[in-house]
Amino acid sequence: CFVLFSELDGGSEYTSALTRFVDATINDRTYTPEGLVFLDTWGSLRHAMNLAFIANRAADLGFSTDTYRTWALGQLHYVLGSTGRSFVVGYGDNAPQRPHHRSSSCPQYPSSCTDSWAQNQEGPNPHVLYGALVGGPDGNDNYVDDRMDYVQNEVACDYNAAFVGVVAAAVQNSLQ
């Protein structure tokens, strides 16, 4: 809301609230040992990418541009594998192979897919869900690529929405 009202109104009550929020995100939040801003165990990367998206939008509005963009880019680098593990299916080193996603874990057509087959089969999912951001690690950077662990391996539209926005911002900023 602070970003939207800062764009629409530009009043100091909104812009001040926005910069206080982003500054508190950067300076006062908990981080994992490897540098991921950590709000919650469930979908930890979703939260980090949402915060990075907000930081990028605040930078676009002219607030602490270098600081906010650098911080957001650091969060993106974590997601893409700066610590030795990518959290994006089909991308980078040591990428997830077992996202909690039914259609990617079902066998090749025309075989039927039952819940027990999709959940209990061993090995990588038969279908690579390219570009999907998984839930992510715990507060100590621990991550297990296990499709039955939906807390760390679930993929969802809200996980990927801000992630795509942060990637787009990184590309746009690199072209400027």
Q: Residue 32: its pLDDT value, please? A: 98
DSSP for residue 85: -
Cα–Cα distance, 116 to 88 (Å, whole number): 25
pTM over 0.95: no
Q: Residue 117: its pLDDT value, please? A: 64
Q: Per-10-residue mean pLDDT for the chain, 176 residues long?
A: 91 94 97 98 96 97 97 98 98 96 81 72 90 98 95 94 96 88
Cα–Cα distance, 4 to 98 (Å, whole number): 37
61 and 91 in contact (C-beta within 8 Å)? no
CATH number for the domain that contains residue 140: 1.50.10.10
Q: Degrees (nearest 5) of the Cα angle 20, 66, 16?
A: 20
Q: Residue 118: its pLDDT value, please? A: 67
DSSP for residue 154: B
Q: Residue 103: its pLDDT value, please? A: 82
- Please confirm, yes or no, whether 100 is among the known catalytic residues: yes
Q: Residue 74: its pLDDT value, please? A: 98
- Please confirm, yes or no, whether 154 is among the known catalytic residues: yes
Phi, psi of 100 (to 5 degrees): -80, 90
Residues 6+ apart with CB under 8 A from 35: 74, 78, 83
Which of 28, 66, 145, 158 is catalytic? The answer is 145
The domain containing residue 12 runs over which residues?
1-175
- Please confirm, yes or no, whether 101 is among the known catalytic residues: no
Q: Residue 48: its pLDDT value, please? A: 98
Estimate the crossing angle of helix 157-175 against helix 65-80, to 10 degrees: 120
Q: How many domains does the chain have?
A: 1
Which of 47, 101, 141, 154 is catalytic? The answer is 154
Which of 47, 100, 101, 141 is catalytic? The answer is 100
Amino acid 57 reads: R
